[in-house]
Chains A and B, each alone.
Chain A
């Protein structure tokens, strides 16, 4: 393995090179590329943008653009009509919306022509004021520039890697970074998909898949089978309705529900560990009912708080245990669902249940953790420390720190407030780390991404209408693109899934 590793720095470049040299060679490609004379600098021709600074309380936000259309974005948003600014020089400009020419903010703009930029491509940075309204407006304005789309997880870094801008050690970290970013996006999508908006997208996706399946069935089977023309007429109606609904949705500024911002912190654990007490302590008011009876909290109790300047959405959940009570069982299901969507989980444990020896206590905690959470980050909160003898308390506190396989451990008592201050410091630093990553809890970016995909989806449906009567293969291509675009929000759709619908709906016999 080792020799392979040592040469991998050149591997990607070599691959790109291969593609470039073989570009003209296949005749087929020659035929279809007669129009665009100049070869693209990179095979990835899209221009991407994203908020690159953290979110939360910040004075300045940085929005990065990378790709061939970066110059266009700079021209139409920072008013450089004649010539571009000198490279790598900060200039104070009015930043305008290219559609309405309305001034969105005044800020610094920087122009980094390829290859001397972070990603190796033409890049632009906008340094704007940090308020969510300004950020949203600038991101939406960028989305309206032709050729620009919001970046996917890790895309900037991946481009930098492809351009050979990252060293060996940075490549090692790239995988972890992309993992973190996709995880953050996945959680955010989960949160959204469980809401009203999610149901709407899912419904569109189901209807689109059906449309596609029926068009595909008509193409692949109608010559031999009884697939009547009526099928296509129904698809026509469906496509027209869907296109209208998506366009209406894109125009509607209220958009149904507001995305909740902030870091999602979920309190979870066994019944009667003191989860609700912790919530009440953290928000400094009795938001949840507490009682010595196990299973008091049955639903999710949610509170928004400001933790040292960072927005946090704190949720208390039902205690985890097997129960025959239908209501409680639902509560447990919801609790687990919340943990799945959480950015940070506080796993609360009743200290009195811990074995007295440290080794066994650590093993107990590890096992307990694996029963509550699978992947997300967490802190272990050992509550009811006041019930432990002083000596054991100190021993636990000292020796559980830095035990491998365990997250940060905080020994507290909601009764006596012991350890609470230290716990708050740990919590605050975790939240701060999370907020430093621009992808965590930044609803504007998710919205911009969804908007771009929905716009693409609606445009593709228009292609169906345009070719419906002249070329069904090209019309179907429109529905395919629409399904893929929406799939970027709701999840990928494969050819097999479409075939499943075909065989369920039609009797195909030849």
Chain B
């Protein structure tokens, strides 16, 4: 299945196959291919695809869709990505930036699983900075301003050079599912999709929906409303949301978001705003990259300015002309429009960041000024801000309202519980943000591929990753407002650091998931072993305090301590760096200089991570006990209160761990459930390799 050439796949175009040489030095030297020459065969006649069987179909080409398609193909599935317009694949619909506090961790983790967005950020970044630099490495937030064009180019070139991945321009009319079969777990099974233009059905074993804000999306500017998910794009077909709601009976909710107007750069007097410079040494997102595409001195600055009382006045005067703000659909509390900001916190001055949109772009992005009032009033409003006194608007801001599928109906593999083979990722699950979408996309894509290839689906624990926290929060608690990642959501924040994402996820990604290339895997093993050796070497340095004082005279080591200290103990001191220890003991430590910063962080955090370990193991033990999905909680012959039965029936937690975290579940109920637990043995399949590339055993 899926092995014969169909003319539109670029599996047979070796000149663009970068799959096998994805490593640091090559990656950034590589020239992006001429896209247009590639696009033409891809958008070829759809008729070729009719009746064709794919393993995975991904609907949507945003951050979730692109990661999903790439991950599915990496795992080994014949994958088809369907998007309305090929040239908007990888478009940054809102802010031109990636990462940040909490979100940066997600980018590092997506990268550790061999996803795209980290490397794309390194290619497209034009202003890199580590946020929270002074607050401790666990909460550092790697972030970059991006060049929109370069980001899109990178993502498109990556996708088009990914083996087993085909891209198709088109609109999906309908999701094809089997009739419900009460005998089967999940009842429905997905069989493919039907395209809008004509009656072409394309069959697939799994489908990943990443439709973003397009599910029953409406755009709002002032008092006008039009259907759509992004300005300039056609609305998606109503057939899709009909299938989800009516045929599959999925509960949906409605959320809103918005974007600010884009400002003509030349019309802004930037001398009236505060200059904000990037880091002088840009730090790449990706584990594979040692430097960014943009040279340090070529980075562009951002500017900071503030709202005035005039802004508040304009908002208040125009309220009756603003449909979006008057409706009670839930918007995010942490990314509110300027309207909600001044209404909720009146009489204050709010920050506005003026961000570059790209190296050659003539536009500025005013972060913090998302608004939905009529365009002429938007102009009046921005002109109340000093640097923008004479500013011109290129594209007005607008609001979007859209449907999301309540994510408690998903399994931790992001598969719809009631429908085998249907996976959802991104804003359709009630999240906001590129990084949140990318993280879900990767995980849904990898699982969709595993499902299609008859391999067991895999889950990520909240004890090992922010992606795990994100997915667990979504599927076990659901959302009431657009969900965004914060570091405060992670219980084990001191263990889930941006610096150790590779250690946490890359081996698992290769050994258990199959979404990591062997090049990255080998490099991650080398790093892991070196770090391990370095820590052992540090612990082997076992000296009395007086000897340490002689070796490191500048360090205030307390005299009263007569005990012996190891090099690892010393590295925990504020004033001690790995470089200092390495110059004192060059013979044992100097070979680890490339890991100086990581070793320092490991040393400082080690005691705290050790404290966390017990709790982490308890949770993992509970997460290894799964509850059957078809269990009838109302007829279970154990003593559970009706209230508990109702909660369990509604949420259907997939593991005992998830059940324990539910509000209203008592310790007694957990013990009673033990009788019905299935222990999930973590099976490690043995992957086979041929010429550095994974060979898939034919599932048939």
- Which positions in A face B, CB cutoff 8 Å? 1, 4-5, 8, 11-12, 14-16, 18-19, 22-23, 26-36, 43-46, 153-154, 158, 161, 171, 174-176, 178-179, 182, 216, 218-221, 223-226, 467, 470-477, 495-496, 498-499, 502-503, 507-510
Could you tell me the distance between the alpha carbons of A158 and B102 in the complex, rounded to whole angstroms? 37
- Report chain A residues within 8 Å CB of B100: 223-224
Could you tell me the distance between the alpha carbons of A29 and B610 in the complex, rounded to whole angstroms? 9
Once A16-B621, A153-B667 are accepted as A-B contacts, the answer to whether A507 and B675 lie under 8 Å apart by CB is no
- Report chain A residues within 8 Å CB of B368: 509-510
Chain A residue nearest in CB terms to B334: A508
Most chain B beta-carbon contacts within 10 A, residue among A11, A498, A509 = A509
Once A43-B614, A43-B618, A477-B493 are accepted as A-B contacts, the answer to whether A182 and B667 lie under 8 Å apart by CB is yes
Chain A residue nearest in CB terms to B673: A175
Chain A residue nearest in CB terms to B566: A35
Are A26 and B678 within 8 A (Cβ)? no
Once A473-B494, A509-B368 are accepted as A-B contacts, the answer to whether A33 and B625 lie under 8 Å apart by CB is no
Are B488 and A507 within 8 A (Cβ)? no
Once A8-B677, A26-B508, A472-B139 are accepted as A-B contacts, the answer to whether A33 and B333 lie under 8 Å apart by CB is no
Are A495 and B488 within 8 A (Cβ)? yes
A494 to chain B, nearest CB (A): 8
Check B557 for interface membership: any CB of A closer than 8 A: no
Check B122 for interface membership: any CB of A closer than 8 A: no
Given A8-B677, A18-B682, A467-B136: 5 more A-B contacts, CB < 8 Å: A16-B621, A31-B503, A175-B668, A223-B141, A496-B477
Once A29-B613, A509-B368 are accepted as A-B contacts, the answer to whether A471 and B618 lie under 8 Å apart by CB is no
A473 to chain B, nearest CB (A): 4
Interface residues of B in 649-686 (CB under 8 A from A): 666-669, 671-672, 674-679, 681-682
- Report chain B residues within 8 Å CB of A498: 488
- Report chain A residues within 8 Å CB of B678: 4
Are B139 and A219 within 8 A (Cβ)? yes
- Report chain A residues within 8 Å CB of B494: 473-474, 477
Check B688 for interface membership: any CB of A closer than 8 A: no
Once A473-B138, A503-B334 are accepted as A-B contacts, the answer to whether A32 and B625 lie under 8 Å apart by CB is no
Interface with A: B214-222, B244-252, B342-350, which one?
Answer: B342-350
- Report chain B residues within 8 Å CB of A32: 495, 606, 609-610, 613
- Report chain A residues within 8 Å CB of B20: none
Could you tell me the distance between the alpha carbons of A177 and B631 in the complex, rounded to whole angstroms? 24
Are B528 and A509 within 8 A (Cβ)? no
A462 to chain B, nearest CB (A): 14
Check B638 for interface membership: any CB of A closer than 8 A: yes
- Report chain A residues within 8 Å CB of B176: none
Are B676 and A176 within 8 A (Cβ)? no
- Report chain B residues within 8 Å CB of A224: 100, 131, 351, 353
Chain B residue nearest in CB terms to A470: B574
Could you tell me the distance between the alpha carbons of A146 and B134 in the complex, rounded to whole angstroms? 35
Are B674 and A178 within 8 A (Cβ)? no
Chain B residue nearest in CB terms to A8: B675
Could you tell me the distance between the alpha carbons of A35 and B609 in the complex, rounded to whole angstroms? 12
Once A220-B487, A508-B334 are accepted as A-B contacts, the answer to whether A15 and B624 lie under 8 Å apart by CB is yes
- Report chain B residues within 8 Å CB of A179: 639, 666, 668
Are A15 and B621 within 8 A (Cβ)? yes
Check B504 for interface membership: any CB of A closer than 8 A: yes
A–B pairs, 26, beta carbons within 8 Å: A4-B628, A4-B676, A5-B676, A8-B674, A11-B625, A11-B679, A26-B504, A28-B504, A31-B500, A44-B618, A46-B614, A171-B675, A176-B668, A219-B135, A220-B102, A220-B488, A225-B351, A226-B351, A473-B138, A474-B494, A476-B493, A495-B491, A510-B334, A510-B335, A510-B351, A510-B368
Are B536 and A34 within 8 A (Cβ)? yes
Could you tell me the distance between the alpha carbons of A503 and B488 in the complex, rounded to whole angstroms? 13
Check B367 for interface membership: any CB of A closer than 8 A: yes
Are B493 and A18 within 8 A (Cβ)? no
Are B367 and A510 within 8 A (Cβ)? yes
Are B139 and A175 within 8 A (Cβ)? no
A88 to chain B, nearest CB (A): 29
- Report chain B residues within 8 Å CB of A26: 464, 504, 507-508
Are B101 and A223 within 8 A (Cβ)? yes
Are B639 and A176 within 8 A (Cβ)? yes
- Report chain B residues within 8 Å CB of A12: 674
Are B507 and A219 within 8 A (Cβ)? no
Chain B residue nearest in CB terms to A9: B675
Chain B residue nearest in CB terms to A2: B637
Could you tell me the distance between the alpha carbons of A219 and B531 in the complex, rounded to whole angstroms? 28
Could you tell me the distance between the alpha carbons of A510 and B367 in the complex, rounded to whole angstroms? 7
Once A34-B535, A509-B350 are accepted as A-B contacts, the answer to whether A174 and B671 lie under 8 Å apart by CB is yes
Chain B residue nearest in CB terms to A182: B667
Could you tell me the distance between the alpha carbons of A23 and B617 in the complex, rounded to whole angstroms? 9
Once A32-B613, A158-B671, A175-B638 are accepted as A-B contacts, the answer to whether A14 and B679 lie under 8 Å apart by CB is yes
A8 to chain B, nearest CB (A): 5
- Report chain A residues within 8 Å CB of B344: 507
Are B614 and A175 within 8 A (Cβ)? no
Once A176-B668, A179-B668, A509-B341 are accepted as A-B contacts, the answer to whether A19 and B606 lie under 8 Å apart by CB is no
Are B608 and A474 within 8 A (Cβ)? yes
Are B139 and A27 within 8 A (Cβ)? no
Chain B residue nearest in CB terms to A152: B667
Once A34-B535, A471-B136 are accepted as A-B contacts, the answer to whether A507 and B493 lie under 8 Å apart by CB is no
Are B333 and A22 within 8 A (Cβ)? no
Interface residues of B in 107-150 (CB under 8 A from A): 131-132, 134-139, 141
Are B345 and A507 within 8 A (Cβ)? yes
Interface residues of B in 478-517 (CB under 8 A from A): 486-489, 491, 493-495, 500, 503-504, 507-508
Could you tell me the distance between the alpha carbons of A80 and B135 in the complex, rounded to whole angstroms? 48
Chain B residue nearest in CB terms to A43: B617
A39 to chain B, nearest CB (A): 11
Are A27 and B668 within 8 A (Cβ)? no
A374 to chain B, nearest CB (A): 11
Are B639 and A473 within 8 A (Cβ)? no
Are B135 and A34 within 8 A (Cβ)? no
Could you tell me the distance between the alpha carbons of A22 and B621 in the complex, rounded to whole angstroms? 11
Most chain B beta-carbon contacts within 10 A, residue among A216, A467, A498 = A216
Contact of A19 among B336, B348, B477, B624 (CB under 8 A): B624
Interface flags for B78-104 (1: CB within 8 Å of A; 0: not) read 000000000000000000000011100
Could you tell me the distance between the alpha carbons of A23 and B605 in the complex, rounded to whole angstroms? 20
Are A499 and B135 within 8 A (Cβ)? no
Could you tell me the distance between the alpha carbons of A218 and B328 in the complex, rounded to whole angstroms? 29
- Report chain B residues within 8 Å CB of A508: 333-334
Are B624 and A18 within 8 A (Cβ)? yes
Interface residues of B in 459-491 (CB under 8 A from A): 464, 477, 486-489, 491
Are B488 and A19 within 8 A (Cβ)? no
B313 to chain A, nearest CB (A): 18
Interface flags for B317-356 (1: CB within 8 Å of A; 0: not) read 0000000000000000111100001001100111101000
Interface residues of B in 407-466 (CB under 8 A from A): 464
Once A18-B682, A28-B504, A43-B617 are accepted as A-B contacts, the answer to whether A219 and B532 lie under 8 Å apart by CB is no
- Report chain A residues within 8 Å CB of B614: 43-46
Could you tell me the distance between the alpha carbons of A496 and B624 in the complex, rounded to whole angstroms? 26
- Report chain A residues within 8 Å CB of B602: 31
Could you tell me the distance between the alpha carbons of A221 and B466 in the complex, rounded to whole angstroms? 18
Contact of A503 among B333, B491, B604, B639 (CB under 8 A): B333
Contact of A35 among B367, B508, B610 (CB under 8 A): B610
Check B32 for interface membership: any CB of A closer than 8 A: no
Contact of B350 among A43, A176, A226, A473 (CB under 8 A): A226
Check B299 for interface membership: any CB of A closer than 8 A: no
Are A473 and B351 within 8 A (Cβ)? no
- Report chain A residues within 8 Å CB of B564: none
Are A219 and B334 within 8 A (Cβ)? no
Once A154-B667, A179-B666, A507-B350 are accepted as A-B contacts, the answer to whether A19 and B674 lie under 8 Å apart by CB is no
> Sorted from nearest, which 10 A-B pairs have the closest CB atoms?
A471-B136, A473-B136, A179-B668, A473-B138, A175-B672, A472-B135, A507-B345, A216-B488, A223-B131, A178-B668
